Amino acid sequence: LETRSGYDFLSGIGVNLHIPANTEDLAIRLLAETGFKTFRIEIGWGEMNWDETALNNEERCRRKLALCAQYGIRPTLLINAHQGAPCPVRFFKRRLVADAPKGATTVRLDSVRDLVVGKSGLSGLSDYWAAEALVTSVDTTRRQITLSKPLPKDLKAGEISLATLKYSPLYPVGTPEFEETAAGWVRHALHLCRLAEAAGTKDFDLEIWNELTFGSHFLNINDYYDPRNPKAPGPQP
């Protein structure tokens, strides 16, 4: 539970480990023989499956951690929630049945089945961003949805990308929405710790989030709303 100084990382030699599948044995052995003692391995919350029972690539991750233990490597496990796939998420396609101009706050779809208010939304409107404009209401008769903010560009009729997040972007601390999302985040962190221990990696570090200049919209519910979400009227803590 000790927080290590950033100096420990800056003064040491490490590698952000991204290697092709099925080459871990060779790569990790050679790195260890070369003198590397630390790997930094990113395992975002979006890697967790929808049921939160396992990572989408759990066996490969387990193998990588087991190799770290075998060769005396101390891994730093980076946990974040990049807005492109911030948490357990379901991606899917629907069809826009009519053009929607920039600034529109409603769109009509070929189907509104299984959309979840506050967690489903249109993706990739301005960036790599899942459910960038959230659904705030659904008119099942007209198959029309209301969005949490105006469209940033014109959309032509045709196929569009949507996503349903299992957890809401972060509301202010103390709200029920925050508590639900934070509990899911903690479950993910504990899952990674148990996975590392089960792989024989007894010595490891956790890095909680690493970047605020990009990919960090999930940290603030009001980045998904314009005007601001009525449940989060003030500045986000």
Contacts of 8 (CB under 8 A, 6+ apart): none
Contacts of 24 (CB under 8 A, 6+ apart): 60, 63, 64, 67
pLDDT per residue as tens digits for the range 27-72 = 999 999 998 888 888 999 999 999 999 999 999 999 999 999 999 9
- What pTM value is reported for the model? 0.90
Helix (H) or strand (E) holding 178: helix 176-198
Is 168 in a helix, a strand, or coil?
A: coil
Question: CB atoms < 10 A from the CB of 46, how many?
Answer: 21
Q: What is the DSSP string of 55-75?
A: BTTHHHHHHHHHHHHHTT-EE
DSSP class of residue 76? Answer: E
pLDDT per residue as tens digits for the range 73-108 = 999 999 999 999 999 999 999 999 999 999 999 999
The CA-based angle 93-103-131, given to 5 degrees, is 35
The CA-based angle 47-52-58, given to 5 degrees, is 45
Phi, psi of 10 (to 5 degrees): -70, -30
With 80 as the cut, is the pLDDT of residue 17 above it? no
pLDDT per residue as tens digits for the range 151-195 = 999 999 999 999 999 999 999 999 999 999 999 999 999 999 999
